[in-house]
C-alpha cells in the first residue's frame, strides 16, 4: 500500500532520474542500487514512454553487489605482508599497517570483481494506491521502501491479509474481520 501524494508524470520521472542506478566507482563500495527500466536493467534512467502504462507506472529497482571472498582477501593480505616483512627486514607488521594493507588490497580486488545484479520489478497502481513488486526478501523490500520514500516522498506498507480484506469489503465492520477464525486446511481423521 502506498501512502502519500501521487506524483504527476514530471515529478515521477524526476524521482526516477534523481535516483537512477549508477555503476560502481572505484573504492570500497560493495552495494549499489537505483531505478532502471523494467525492460532492460542497463537502461538508466527508465525511459519515460516505458514507465507510463495506463494507470500504472512500471519500472525496476536494480541492486548490484560485489564482494571479495574473505578467504581470498586473507590469502592476498598474508602474501603481501610476508613480502613487506622480507623487503623491509621487519620482525612483525603492526595492527594499523595490516588494516591499511587489507584496505588497499580490498580496493584492488574489488576492481576485478564483477557485480552480481538483482532486479526487482515494480508496478505502481497510481489510481488504486497499490505497489506490486517482485521483492521477496526482507533486504530487497527494505531497499525498495527506503528508495521509494527518497524518490517519491511516499511510504510503502505491506498489505496484510486483514488490511486487504478491509479494502475489498469496506462495508464489513473491523470487529467482524477481527473475529474471524482461521480456516483449517487439514482434513480431520476419518474423513477422506
- Is 163 in the same domain as 76? no
**Arithmetic mean of pLDDT, 100-105:** 91
- Is 43 in the same domain as 132? yes
Distance (Å, whole) CA 87 – CA 25: 32
**Arithmetic mean of pLDDT, 36-40:** 96
The torsion of the CA quartet 154, 158, 162, 166, rounded to 10 degrees, works out to 30
- Is 61 in the same domain as 94? no
Measuring CA to CA, which residue among 118, 129, 82, 87 is closest to residue 101?
Answer: 82
- Is 123 in the same domain as 82? no
**Arithmetic mean of pLDDT, 26-49:** 91
* Domain coverage including residue 108: 70-112
- Is 14 in the same domain as 107? no
Distance (Å, whole) CA 166 – CA 86: 72
Q: Pairing between strand 155-156 and 130-133?
A: unpaired
To the question of pTM greater than 0.95 for the whole model, the response is no
Q: Pairing between strand 31-36 and 116-125?
A: unpaired
According to DSSP H, which parts of the chain are helical? 9-18, 48-51, 70-88, 95-112, 138-152, 161-168, 174-178
- Is 103 in the same domain as 10? no
- pLDDT tens digit sequence for 127-176: 989 999 999 899 999 999 999 999 999 999 888 777 777 777 778 777 77
- Is 142 in the same domain as 47? yes
Mean pLDDT, the chain, integer: 88
- 180 lies in a domain? no
- 144 lies in a domain? yes
- Is 93 in the same domain as 164? no
- pLDDT tens digit sequence for 54-88: 899 999 999 999 999 999 999 999 999 999 888 88
- Is 57 in the same domain as 16? yes
- Is 87 in the same domain as 62? no
How many distinct structural domains can be found in the chain?
A: 2
3-state secondary structure of 111: helix
- Is 108 in the same domain as 76? yes
Does residue 175 or residue 17 have the better pLDDT?
Answer: 17
Amino acid at each position: 500500500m502506498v501512502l502519500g501524494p501521487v506524483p504527476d508524470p514530471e515529478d515521477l520521472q524526476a524521482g526516477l532520474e534523481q535516483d537512477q542506478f549508477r555503476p560502481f566507482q572505484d573504492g570500497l563500495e560493495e552495494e549499489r542500487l537505483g531505478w532502471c527500466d523494467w525492460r532492460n536493467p542497463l537502461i538508466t534512467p527508465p525511459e519515460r514512454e516505458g514507465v507510463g502504462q495506463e494507470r500504472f507506472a512500471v519500472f525496476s529497482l536494480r541492486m548490484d553487489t560485489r564482494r571479495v571472498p574473505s578467504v581470498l582477501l586473507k590469502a592476498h593480505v598474508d602474501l603481501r605482508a610476508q613480502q613487506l616483512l622480507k623487503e623491509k627486514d621487519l620482525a612483525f607488521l603492526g595492527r594499523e599497517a595490516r588494516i591499511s594493507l587489507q584496505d588497499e588490497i580490498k580496493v584492488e580486488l574489488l576492481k576485478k570483481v564483477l557485480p552480481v545484479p538483482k532486479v526487482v520489478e515494480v508496478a505502481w497502481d497510481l489510481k488504486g494506491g497499490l505497489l506490486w513488486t517482485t521483492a521477496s526478501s526482507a533486504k530487497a523490500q527494505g531497499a525498495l521502501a527506503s528508495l521509494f520514500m527518497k524518490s517519491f516522498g511516499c511510504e510503502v506498507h505491506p498489505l496484510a491479509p486483514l488490511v486487504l480484506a478491509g479494502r475489498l469489503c469496506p462495508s464489513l465492520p473491523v470487529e467482524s474481520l477481527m473475529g474471524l477464525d482461521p480456516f483449517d486446511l487439514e482434513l480431520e481423521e476419518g474423513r477422506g
